[in-house]
Amino acid sequence: MLKKVDSSQLKVGMFIHDLSCDWMSHPFMRNRFLLSSEDEIRKIVQAGIHDVVIDSSKGLDVQDAPTLQEAQEATEQELLELATKPVTVMRVSLGEELSRAAQVRHQASSLVRTVMADARLGKAIEIGQVQPVVQNITESILRNPGALVGLLRIKNKDDYTFLHSVSVCALLVAFCNSRGMAPEVTRQAGLGGLLHDTGKALVPDEVLNKPAALTDAEFAVIRKHPEDGYNILKQSPEVNDIALDITLHHHERCDGSGYPHKLNGSQISELAQMAAIVDVYDAITADRCYHKGMSAAAALRKIYEWSKFHFNPVYAQEFMRCVGIYPVGTLVLLESGRLGVVVEPHETNLLAPKVNVFFHTKKNVYIKPETLDLSKGLGFGGGDKIVGHESAAKWNVDPMRFLTLA
């Protein structure tokens, strides 16, 4: 039986089923293993991991611990209370923005590739080339945030580092905009998001993309990238304090378990805390050589759970309202048995977005695609309900093909 337990309850002989954290927070090769020493427990606690999932059928039990299902149901109930808050209104439709967003995606990823190459060679970053790209990203987000953010969910192992930076920029701009921040602050935050991982240019590829557990020395190299990036960007006088702060502090955590300076919540700036949420969200939704990315909807639930310790809970909830409990591009299962891809959030009800349905799970066949507005009743373009998010691999479908209908 899978149970959720506090890390203080761990004992040698328990079987870890899930460490319940992003990969950069723990030094273990796998998320699932039998605890064989007190040293392993110490590493879990020191990594700032507050709760884990154990499998009592494979190791020692904690009798009074809630089952994983009970813990998840409690989280879902809490999320329901967030689901009727206003969200950002889009200026143009997803279909209208997708082609422009695709151009912005290509332009921005190419730029980040150039920035990383320059940083590797010790060259100062030419901010004059970066600022117009940040402006293009910002304008796309203002027209329709789902278009660019949805496209940026598609990454492969070769371009992950570059597209991750573009994703963090886009998501952080959307986050700032949804919180009503000043345009100049939003632009500078976007600049910080685009350049936040510049320090990874100094990390050897064999460490950055290692498919196995990192040694302590390799972990130390990885964890230097915020300071390395900060020092690289300091060489460019056009980079202001907001971008420098985001670069240096996007791995800090509210409970003091982050790096490089182990700052606590009150010591971390508002924008750096927002960037930390965005950075983790994008990282855990991507496929990497060392882990399979989770769905956007599942990632948001993880962010919500981790906000009890690692993130500011208010910011985490506001980020969820910004991207939607079921973000654009999410594959969802409807009560009717149909699969649909989310194409537009509802203005006030995050549980009732517009979806393009295209597959019937009960018949295991593709169906004629159509758009449903789940906020409306049967006969008015709706009449269905989301049961939960689904895995595209499970049904061997590509929901991104159905983001727009002919």
Are residues 302 and 239 part of one domain? yes
Domain assignment present for residue 86? The answer is no
Structure tokens at 207: 């460490």
What one-character DSSP code corresponds to residue 49?
A: -
Percentage of the chain with pLDDT > 70? Answer: 92
Domain assignment present for residue 356? The answer is yes
Percentage of the chain with pLDDT > 90? Answer: 54
In angstroms and rounded to an integer, the radius of gyration of the C-alpha atoms of the chain is 21
Q: What is the reported pLDDT for 180?
A: 94
Q: What is the reported pLDDT for 85?
A: 59
Q: Smallest Cα–Cα separation from 280: which of 267, 266, 257?
A: 257
pLDDT tens profile 229-254: 999 999 999 999 999 999 999 999 99
Per-residue confidence band for 378, with pLDDT thresholds at 50, 70 and 90? low
Are residues 290 and 143 part of one domain? yes
Q: What is the rounded distance in angstroms from the CA atom of residue 90 to the CA atom of residue 322? A: 12
Lowest-confidence segment of 22-31, 124-133, 389-398 by average pLDDT: 22-31
At 325, phi and psi to the nearest 5? -60, -30
Q: Residue 159: is its pLDDT beyond 90?
A: no
Per-residue confidence band for 94, with pLDDT thresholds at 50, 70 and 90? confident
As a whole number, mean pLDDT of residues 96-104 equals 94
Q: What is the reported pLDDT for 23?
A: 58
pLDDT tens profile 175-218: 999 999 999 999 999 999 999 999 999 999 888 888 777 788 88
Domain assignment present for residue 82? The answer is no
Task: Assess contact for 140 and 90: CB atoms under 8 A.
Answer: no
Domain assignment present for residue 88? The answer is no
Domain assignment present for residue 84? The answer is no
Better-predicted residue by pLDDT, 9 or 188? 188
As a whole number, mean pLDDT of residues 22-32 equals 65
pTM: 0.85
308: Cβ–Cβ under 8 A, 6 or more apart, which residues?
Answer: 50
366: domain range?
331-402
Are residues 219 and 124 part of one domain? yes
CA-to-CA separations, 313 to 47, 203, 215, 285, 319, in angstroms, rounded: 20, 32, 32, 20, 10
As a whole number, mean pLDDT of residues 370-378 equals 87
Domain assignment present for residue 203? The answer is yes
Q: What is the reported pLDDT for 22?
A: 66
Are residues 128 and 240 part of one domain? yes
Residue 183 DSSP SS3: helix
Are residues 58 and 26 part of one domain? yes
Per-residue confidence band for 84, with pLDDT thresholds at 50, 70 and 90? low
Q: Residue 385: is its pLDDT beyond 80?
A: yes
Q: Cβ atoms within 10 A of the Cβ of 298, count?
A: 16
63: Cβ–Cβ under 8 A, 6 or more apart, which residues?
Answer: none
Q: How many domains are contained in the chain?
A: 3
Q: Smallest Cα–Cα separation from 113: which of 153, 148, 163, 48?
A: 163
Which of 323, 349, 373 finishes a domain?
323
Are residues 317 and 280 part of one domain? yes
Are residues 234 and 373 part of one domain? no
Sign of the Cα torsion 382, 384, 388, 392 reads: negative
> Residue 200 sits in a domain of what CATH number?
1.10.3210.10
Q: What is the reported pLDDT for 294?
A: 86
Q: Residue 27: is its pLDDT beyond 80?
A: no
The residue ranges of DSSP E strands in 12-164, in sequence order, are: 15-18, 33-34, 51-55
Q: Residue 79: is its pLDDT beyond 80?
A: no
Q: Smallest Cα–Cα separation from 222: which of 246, 203, 196?
A: 203
Are residues 337 and 313 part of one domain? no
pLDDT tens profile 254-306: 999 999 999 998 999 999 999 999 999 999 998 776 677 888 888 999 999 99
pLDDT tens profile 323-353: 888 899 999 999 999 999 999 888 778 888 9
Q: What is the rounded distance in angstroms from the CA atom of residue 374 to the CA atom of residue 346? A: 9
Which of 323, 340, 374 finishes a domain?
323
Which of 272, 290, 323 finishes a domain?
323
Q: What is the largest CA-CA distance in the chain?
A: 62
Are residues 122 and 179 part of one domain? yes
